[in-house]
Amino acid sequence: MLSAPSFLLIGSGNTILLFSSLMILAVFSSSFQGTMPSLLPSLFFTNVRNGALAITYNLSASLFGGTTPLIVSWLISQTNNRLIPAYYTIFTSIIGIIMVTWFIKETSGKSLRGSPPVVEEYHEIKEILEKPEEALWWHEEKKEIEEKKEELGEI
């Protein structure tokens, strides 16, 4: 939400305000970029992780990152509003927040999908053996995917 004030400060002509606004944008951008390497691998099962991650990341980066300058330039020319990049950033951020909130499962402290449980200390082995359903939390999800694949294969 600070992108609109930041873009206003960028256009102020003052060097200190320009630097401050770019720092604001950089801090929020780095907080997003810093969490991606830990989130993205958890989205895919182990046996397809590298390929699926490479394809989806690069496709989305090309599709959305490549068309953003064109879309923003066109919107600026249509509206004569120089804050369109800020509004575009806010709009896409809201979409991202909604997607992460509703569709991404919390996996911190758990094994990645398709991977066996990993322990740091010996006492954790006992916990896994007592509650294997928590350690292998992704089994139900995998079962649902396999059932959907079978249904689609029969069509």
d(CA 64, CA 72): 12
Q: How confident is the model at residue 47 (pLDDT cuts 50, 70, 90)?
A: confident
In the structure encoding, which two tokens stand for residue 92, read together?
């896409």
Q: How confident is the model at residue 120 (pLDDT cuts 50, 70, 90)?
A: low
Residues 6+ apart with CB under 8 A from 83: 4, 7, 8
Q: Which is more confident, 117 or 95? A: 95
Q: How confident is the model at residue 87 (pLDDT cuts 50, 70, 90)?
A: very high
Per-residue pLDDT tens digits for 10-21: 888 899 999 999
Q: What is the DSSP string of 44-97?
A: S-GGGHHHHHHHHHHHHIIIIIHHHHHHHHHHHHHH--TTHHHHHHHHHHHHHH
* pLDDT above 80: residue 82: yes
User: What is the pLDDT, as a whole number, of residue 154?
Assistant: 60
* pLDDT above 90: residue 49: no
Contact between residue 125 and residue 119 where contact means Cβ atoms under 8 Å apart: yes
